[in-house]
Structure 1
Amino acid sequence: MHSSAIFLIEFGAVLLGLGLLGRFAGRLQFSPIPLYLLAGLAFGEGGLLPLDASEEFVATGAEIGVILLLLMLGLEYTASDLVSNLKTQYPAGLVDAALNALPGAVMALLLGWGPVAAVVLAGVTWISSSGVIAKVLGDLGRLGNRETPVILSILVLEDLSMAVYLPILTALLAGTGLAAGSVTLAIALGVAGLVLLLAVRYGRHISRFVSSDDPEKLLLVVLGLTLLVAGVAQQLQVSAAVGAFLVGIALSGEVAEGAHNLLAPLRDLFAAVFFVFFGLHTNPADIPPVLLPALGLAVVTALTKIATGYWAARRAGISAKGRWRAGGTLVARGEFSIVIAGLAVTAGIEPSLGPLATAYVLILVVLGPLTARWTEPVALALTRRFGKPSVATEAPAEAAVTAPRDSAERSAEDPDTVGHA
């Protein structure tokens, strides 16, 4: 009875604290992820108020949080969208992977952590935060900009790559051999391909089967189906997160929209619990020794993300301003970097990996909104100051070429301008 009371007090205090932190972040128009991570550090081992009675429940909630994050991500896309992006934007995806995964892998090897940790840290530095970036685009009024589809295409390709990356990582963390790992990967790719095929051909029938006019029944069916598929996927050593992602892709239309609205509060709740859980397993005293490598890695991968966005936007024919905006917007890392690092922490791969990932994400989740806002003006100012003198003589022609494009971008940013045109 006493332990039950302690559990309620601890868990209630955690949820109340997360709610207050979320409100504080909302007032500052900032992502709450770094605050949730700091809360986890405060409640974990070596923190100010260590949790005892509710830690097991928090662990279960964190696992549900990962599943809901991937489910909601899958609901954002249809199978046809994913196939279309693969056909048209795969070069940008390859450049993104090469430029941003390689620094993480190299850092892990330089630190002597071994090849498995290198694969983990490569994923941590590779994947941008879809949640943070979507919020930044909305806050800055850039959802209608010409570079925004380029940004979203890169994010889609990163998200889709998780369906391949996570099974590989799961097999490596489990310590399976080459043959077993190949079988696991083959199963994962086969399941993913089958789900995409079914979603393209029979997506309407699947959605009709799940659909219900009663929100309660719709919530129970979608959530139950997701947890069931995630459990089966994990039993097959594929990845519970991949299973949830594929369920989201298979649902479309009104069902996806309705499920999204119903599940959004649950996702936010359990995702916050997940970030706290990750912080619980990181001792604050372990962060200072890895702070310098995390800072160096953050600087390098911020620059490589800017280069990725610039190259992809240039390939799409976007003007210089849009290229810099695209690059700066992609810098933020967040939820999926922590998901990847969390798998490694649970497997006990490298003790310093969790603290480094925490510090890395804290740096870039704070830096990301700043680079999204300031990369373009800073880059253009530096170009004007240090650019070649010949550029100045060509300025009128350049302006004539880019003026309609930049004007279209400004109109997209301000819908009222379009209306008055």
Structure 2
Amino acid sequence: MNTAATVKEVSHHLEPLISDLGLILMTAGIAVLLFKKLKQPLVLGYLIAGFLAGNHFDFFPSVKDIKSVEVWAEIGVIFLLFSLGLEFSFKKLMKVGGTASITAITQIIIMIFVGFLVGQWMHWSKMDSIFLGVILSISSTTIILKTFDELGVKTQKFAGIVIGSLIVQDIVAILMMVLLSTIAVSQQFSGMELMKSVLKLFFFLTIWFVGGIFFIPTLLKRAKHLLTDEMLLIISLALCLMMVGLAANVGFSPALGAFIMGSIIAETTQAEHIEHLVKPVKDLFGAVFFVSVGMLINPHTLFTHTLPVVILTFVTIFGQSISSTIGALLSGQPLKQSVQTGMSLSQIGEFSFIIASLGITLHVTSDFLYPIVVAVSAVTTFTTPFMVKFSTPFSEFLARQLPRRWIKRIERYSANTQAIKSVNNWQIVINSYSTQLIVLSAIIFAAILLSSKYILPLVESFRYGNALGALITLVVVSPFLWALSFRRFAAKEVTILIEERKYRGPIVMMFLFRLVLSVFLIGFLLNIFFSPIIALIALIGAIAVYIIFQKRLNAQYHKIENHFLKNLNDREITKIKRNRSSLSPWDEHMAFFDIAAASNLAGKTLEELQIREQLGINIASIKRGEIMINIPKANERLFPGDEICVIGTDIQVKEFKTYLDQHEMDAPDTFTEPEIVLRQIELKNESYVGKSIRDSKLRERTRGLVVGVEKKGKRILNPESNMILEKDDILWIVGDKKLLADLVHN
């Protein structure tokens, strides 16, 4: 009887759950098709779908189980942040440079301040105003990238600054979520609480990143031959959810854990493949998240707060544009690029939704804030393409209207800033010293805390248990203690600085501080396991043993460090190996793609596809089973299962991948060493001079293709066949290795 009742109860619970999911996906699907047809951002389609499926619209079937939708939406946030982490890299952040960092940080600081003041001016609560400031400070990566693609401006200089700024903004948004959670829970704005939260965050970020890079790439690499696509997807999502649990257990947002795990996996050699596998999962739950956002849109609330929506829309558009322009100018960019950057960043989007939902989850923001944010985002999404399109004419208008002395000062400041590229020796020493100190101290401190929590309770009941526990912990941390005490940092720069008298004192103090910190950490560890007097005696003995085994500790630490660096750089090293036969005269490289069985490109000739004419890339070879077709002719057809090798720049290859995805083609996870090579040939042979490329018969003699010519320092990619060859021209020819070698020797 109880069993039948339970089954009936489960059946009753499943019915609204399944019907709600079906309603959400059906509505989202229709909205996506409609907005795709109208060439509008899909996010807006999801929002409207959510509004229609929500309880605030009476002329459409409504979702019944709101709690389940909220759970799915939270999962959607987790997978969105995990996917964002897969596209992100800590090394990529380091390469962003000062321009994007200064632009983003200036924008964020100004907009948080402006948003808070506007919230207070509208008589909102202090917590609403704080959340509003953070919400208005983060631009939308999704909307900007889509707009750049549609307008074809991704190759322009300002686009690089914008994309770099978005990377910095995403990182700051993650930090803001942690700080907002702290403020919301404590209901205090004390600097001490915020400082503790920041220190705690950086401590766990360091430990998670270092530990993750040390273990996870090794795990995936060693298990690679066992992992099918299904298993790799399961393991990736399991790692993501494991980090989500860790983050939640130490008091951080689950989204932070997902982002961190994504950024760790982004450093592995299988990152692109994992990103490809995770994409459908992210798209599914991401759609549910954005639909759930739309469900919270209350027409009555929007009607009541029409004025705040209008005010905040103008604040967002003009505030983001002006603050970003100021940031770009401060970073040393010319007026034109600064205005283009500022006007491109004039919207809010997905991160603003996530931060607004955080306020609702923590029950610290008013109900009206969320729908207002959604409305502002919707309006600024529509205005973004126009802002980007008119940024160039507006920058030219400003250049004409501003006083001439202002323009000259901006130009002079930009020129001076661009000229400052060198970093002095003292900065290099400080950066190296700080990095080593922070990372090594965090590792040692984390090991001590873990030992006190897990090892001490196990051993303290035994007679010599404390001594054994202390010994185990010391053995584990000893290589790191050695590195903290004695490992050299920026050796070349330190040697130069020591020769200058004024730097000798600070450098000596830096070495002494490391020694004192190491002794303190050893004492801290021993004090956990022993009484103070015994700990002091053990400390003296530990230091003596520590000095005796210096060389062994040195070797052990370098072994650990080399393993970490190998994992950290493995992805780049693999790319270099794949491209060691790079066919790029300048910045082009090779990439490999498979023709999918269901591809609608199969059966068409290269002439019909017009790939080179549309995208600017060359198809260097086609591998069909055991047959390799080098430098295929225009009448060559593509067949399912073909592996094609293309040559192009990073941007061209990325556009080509998008082109393939649109035609249901899948990127492979394996690469084949090409049988064709690139040779750089300086034209000395008189028999070619004065002839066109076509008349020289270079294609026939090398079974190859001339992909680049340099004439008197001028570079020409993909030259026309009627170009006349001159003496001392430098040719880049893709072709058969042996025939090219014969051509070089002749």
Query: Could you tell me which residue of structure 2 aligns to residue 21 of structure 1?
Result: 31
Matched, 1:325 2:328: no
2:84·2:259 contact (CA, 8 Å) conserved in 1?
Answer: yes
CA distance in 2, matches of 1:194, 1:22: 41
Query: Could you tell me which residue of structure 2 aligns to residue 227 of structure 1?
Result: 241
Write out aligned runs for 1:298-317 (5 A). Answer: 298-314=313-329
1:185·1:238 contact (CA, 8 Å) conserved in 2?
Answer: no
Structure 1 counterpart of 2:125, one-letter code: G
Report the Cα offset of residue 104 of structure 1.
Answer: 1.7
CA distance in 2, matches of 1:260, 1:8: 28
Matched, 1:374 2:390: yes
1:129·1:334 contact (CA, 8 Å) conserved in 2?
Answer: yes
CA distance in 2, matches of 1:231, 1:200: 18
Report the Cα offset of residue 130 of structure 1.
Answer: 0.9
Query: Could you tell me which residue of structure 2 aligns to residue 280 of structure 1?
Result: 295
Matched, 1:258 2:273: yes
Query: Could you tell me which residue of structure 1 aligns to residue 154 of structure 2?
Result: 143
For 1:190, which of 203, 211, 216 is the aligned residue?
Answer: 203
Higher strand share: 2
Query: Could you tell me which residue of structure 1 aligns to residue 449 of structure 2?
Result: none
Q: How has the CA–CA distance of structure 1 residues 84 and 420 changed in structure 2, closer, same or farther, with 3 Å as cutoff? A: closer
Report the Cα offset of residue 264 of structure 1.
Answer: 1.4
For 2:377, which of 355, 361, 367 is the aligned residue?
Answer: 361
CA distance in 1, matches of 2:22, 2:187: 40
Q: How has the CA–CA distance of structure 1 residues 182 and 312 changed in structure 2, closer, same or farther, with 3 Å as cutoff? A: closer
Structure 1 counterpart of 2:201, one-letter code: A
DSSP 3-state at the match of 1:45: coil
Write out aligned runs for 1:3-402 (5 A). Answer: 4-48=14-58, 49=60, 51-85=62-96, 89-175=100-186, 183-198=196-211, 204-205=217-218, 208=221, 213-251=227-265, 252-314=267-329, 318-348=333-363, 349-381=365-397, 384=400, 386=401
Q: How has the CA–CA distance of structure 1 residues 243 and 6 changed in structure 2, closer, same or farther, with 3 Å as cutoff? A: closer
Structure 1 counterpart of 2:86, one-letter code: L
2:85·2:260 contact (CA, 8 Å) conserved in 1?
Answer: yes
TM-score, structure 2 as length reference: 0.50
Q: Higher RCO, 1 or 2 (CA under 8 Å, sep at least 6)?
A: 1
CA distance in 1, matches of 2:250, 2:395: 48
2:102·2:330 contact (CA, 8 Å) conserved in 1?
Answer: no
CA distance in 2, matches of 1:118, 1:309: 21
Structure 2 counterpart of 1:189, one-letter code: F
Structure 1 stretch 168-177 or stretch 115-124: which is displaced more?
A: 168-177
Deviations 1:335-389 (A, max 9, x none): 10000001112333212211221221111122222212222224434655x4669
Deviations 1:150-173 (A, max 9, x none): 112211111111232111111223
Q: How has the CA–CA distance of structure 1 residues 374 and 235 changed in structure 2, closer, same or farther, with 3 Å as cutoff? A: same
CA distance in 2, matches of 1:201, 1:335: 32
Q: How has the CA–CA distance of structure 1 residues 255 and 13 changed in structure 2, closer, same or farther, with 3 Å as cutoff? A: same
CA distance in 2, matches of 1:368, 1:257: 29
Report the Cα offset of residue 108 of structure 1.
Answer: 2.1
Query: Could you tell me which residue of structure 2 aligns to residue 406 of structure 1?
Result: none
2:182·2:194 contact (CA, 8 Å) conserved in 1?
Answer: yes
1:294·1:359 contact (CA, 8 Å) conserved in 2?
Answer: yes
1:106·1:118 contact (CA, 8 Å) conserved in 2?
Answer: yes
Structure 1 counterpart of 2:383, one-letter code: L
2:99·2:161 contact (CA, 8 Å) conserved in 1?
Answer: no
CA distance in 2, matches of 1:284, 1:92: 36
Report the Cα offset of residue 68 of structure 1.
Answer: 1.1
Structure 1 counterpart of 2:378, one-letter code: L
Report the Cα offset of residue 75 of structure 1.
Answer: 1.1
Report the Cα offset of residue 291 of structure 1.
Answer: 2.3
Q: How has the CA–CA distance of structure 1 residues 86 and 273 changed in structure 2, closer, same or farther, with 3 Å as cutoff? A: same
Structure 1 stretch 320-329 or stretch 204-213: which is displaced more?
A: 204-213
CA distance in 1, matches of 2:346, 2:65: 35
CA distance in 1, matches of 2:142, 2:211: 27
Q: How has the CA–CA distance of structure 1 residues 224 and 23 changed in structure 2, closer, same or farther, with 3 Å as cutoff? A: same
Structure 1 stretch 205-214 or stretch 323-332: which is displaced more?
A: 205-214
Give the count of matched residue pairs. Answer: 406
Report the Cα offset of residue 71 of structure 1.
Answer: 1.0
Q: How has the CA–CA distance of structure 1 residues 54 and 419 changed in structure 2, closer, same or farther, with 3 Å as cutoff? A: farther
CA distance in 1, matches of 2:210, 2:203: 10
Report the Cα offset of residue 13 of structure 1.
Answer: 2.2
Q: How has the CA–CA distance of structure 1 residues 101 and 313 changed in structure 2, closer, same or farther, with 3 Å as cutoff? A: same
Q: How has the CA–CA distance of structure 1 residues 45 and 318 changed in structure 2, closer, same or farther, with 3 Å as cutoff? A: same
2:54·2:63 contact (CA, 8 Å) conserved in 1?
Answer: no
CA distance in 1, matches of 2:339, 2:147: 15
Query: Could you tell me which residue of structure 2 aligns to residue 404 of structure 1?
Result: none
Deviations 1:159-201 (A, max 9, x none): 1112321111112233466677665543322112333444677
DSSP 3-state at the match of 1:151: helix
1:34·1:366 contact (CA, 8 Å) conserved in 2?
Answer: no
Report the Cα offset of residue 7 of structure 1.
Answer: 3.7
Structure 2 counterpart of 1:294, one-letter code: V
Structure 1 counterpart of 2:389, one-letter code: R
CA distance in 1, matches of 2:223, 2:61: 42
Report the Cα offset of residue 64 of structure 1.
Answer: 0.9
Structure 1 stretch 228-237 or stretch 153-162: which is displaced more?
A: 228-237
Unaligned runs of 5+ in 2: 1-10, 416-615, 617-648, 653-706, 708-714, 720-746
After superposition, the CA RMSD in angstroms is 3.4
Structure 1 stretch 173-182 or stretch 324-333: which is displaced more?
A: 173-182
1:184·1:238 contact (CA, 8 Å) conserved in 2?
Answer: no
Structure 1 stretch 192-201 or stretch 92-101: which is displaced more?
A: 192-201
1:103·1:297 contact (CA, 8 Å) conserved in 2?
Answer: no
Structure 1 stretch 205-214 or stretch 337-346: which is displaced more?
A: 205-214
DSSP 3-state at the match of 1:29: coil
Q: How has the CA–CA distance of structure 1 residues 81 and 389 changed in structure 2, closer, same or farther, with 3 Å as cutoff? A: closer
1:66·1:271 contact (CA, 8 Å) conserved in 2?
Answer: yes
Structure 1 counterpart of 2:284, one-letter code: L
Report the Cα offset of residue 317 of structure 1.
Answer: 5.7
Q: Percent identity?
A: 23
CA distance in 2, matches of 1:327, 1:290: 28
Query: Could you tell me which residue of structure 1 aligns to residue 599 of structure 2?
Result: none
Report the Cα offset of residue 288 of structure 1.
Answer: 1.6
